[in-house]
């Protein structure tokens, strides 16, 4: 499966590659990138990955939970931990 570089499959494989101490210049790294990204623009993928890891964006994602409070998720009606007491 090839995605645009932002999917969980891509992020997971890249994380495992980094964890196994591949350098960006290793032949294995080029093979993994070719499999995952296909013909995607690598500079655009890198920009999306970098922007997704910015602290400001993480704080923005947390804002709705702070506004709603810890009681229940507005979308699902469940508690933030995924279960609903009866």
23-40 per-position pLDDT tens digit: 667 777 778 778 878 888
Distance CA 39, CA 45 (A): 11
Look at residues 41, 33, 38, 42 and name the one whose alpha carbon lies nearest to residue 13. Answer: 33
Tokens of 12: 């997971």
Report if residue 77 sits inside a domain: no
Report if residue 2 sits inside a domain: no
Report if residue 52 sits inside a domain: yes
CB 77 within 8 A of CB 71: no
Report if residue 74 sits inside a domain: no
Expressed as residue numbers, the domain containing 14 is 8-68
Between 17 and 79, residue with greater pLDDT: 17
Report if residue 16 sits inside a domain: yes
Q: DSSP class of residue 78?
A: S
The total number of structural domains that make up the chain: 1
Report if residue 64 sits inside a domain: yes
CB 11 within 8 A of CB 53: no
Q: What is the reported pTM?
A: 0.39
Please compute, for residue 30, the number of CA atoms within 13 A of its CA located in the half-sphere on the CB side.
Answer: 3
Report if residue 1 sits inside a domain: no
């Amino acid at each position: 499966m090839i995605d645009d570089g932002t999917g969980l499959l891509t992020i997971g494989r890249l994380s495992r590659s980094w964890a196994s101490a591949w350098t960006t210049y290793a032949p294995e790294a080029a093979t993994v990138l070719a499999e995952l990204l296909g013909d995607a623009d690598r500079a655009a993928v890198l920009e999306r990955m970098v922007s997704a890891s910015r602290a400001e964006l993480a704080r923005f994602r947390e804002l709705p939970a702070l506004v709603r409070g810890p009681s229940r998720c507005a979308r699902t009606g469940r508690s933030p931990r995924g279960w609903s007491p009866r």
